[in-house]
Amino acid sequence: MTLNDKIIFYLIENPKATNSDIANFCEIQENHAKVTISKLKSRGHIEISGQGASRTITVLKEPTVKLDKKERYNRQLDFLEEIMFSDVDPKYRLEASSQHIRLLNKL
C-alpha cells in the first residue's frame, strides 16, 4: 500500500485529522504529511474545507488498492473483535467467535 493510499484510508475514518495526526499514523515527518496532502488535493483525490481546528478533509476518490491477504485478515479480525465485545445478541457473538478462530487458523 502506498503512502497516498494509507493517508486516504486514514482520512476516510478521520476527516478532522490534523497534519500531526496523519504524520504520527503514517510514521513520517509532519512536513511530509503536509506536502502529500497538498498533492492529493491538487490531484482531486481530497477536498479540504475550513481551516485550523474546523478543517475537514473529504475523500473524493477512494484508492483501488489491492490489500494483501494478511491485511484483509487483520481487518476482518478487527471487525469480528468489535462484534465479540459489543452488546449484540449472544448468538451473533458466538458466530463471530467461530469466524475469528477460522481466520486465525489461516494466518
Using DSSP's 3-state secondary structure scheme, residue 10 falls into helix
Q: How confident is the model at residue 2 (pLDDT cuts 50, 70, 90)?
A: confident
Structural domains of the chain, with CATH: 3-59 (1.10.10.10), 69-106 (no CATH)
Give the three cell numbers for residue 15: 476527516
Residue pLDDT, tens place only, 56-102: 999 998 877 666 777 777 787 788 778 777 787 877 777 877 877 77
Q: Structure pTM?
A: 0.60
**20 and 30 in contact (C-beta within 8 Å)?**
yes
Q: What is the largest CA-CA distance in the chain?
A: 48
Q: Which residues are CB-contacts of 20 (< 8 A; sequence separation ≥ 6)?
A: 30, 33
